Amino acid sequence: MYFFCALKVVSSVMILGYLVIGYFVIRDGILDKGVYGVDSVVVLLFAFLFSIAMWKIGSIGLRRMRAVKD
């Protein structure tokens, strides 16, 4: 059960971090500063989706652990 709790906490921090990084990537793309390219946007998208998947696995695991516990 602690594994799934830790998984949710870590993935939540990752999601917040990727949102902050994504803000700067999108802002630089809109302002045409040219620091970040399309590659970084694609990598950031996959990392964000991976962290959402981790959070979902943690949620499902906690739900199942609570169901077994009761």
SS3 36: coil
Q: Which residue has the tokens 């516990």?
A: 69
Residue 10 burial by CB count (10 A; 0-12/13-18/19+): exposed, middle or buried? middle
Amino acid at position 70, single letter: D
Amino acid at position 29, single letter: G
Position with higher pLDDT, 70 vs 64: 64
Cα–Cα dist 13/2, whole Å: 17
Cα–Cα dist 48/10, whole Å: 13
Amino acid at position 40, single letter: S
Overall pTM surpassing 0.85 (yes/no): no
Q: Which range of residues forms the domain containing residue 46? A: 2-69
Q: pLDDT by residue (tens digit) across 10-63?
A: 999 999 998 888 888 888 777 777 677 777 888 888 999 999 999 999 999 988
Task: Count the domains in the chain.
Answer: 1
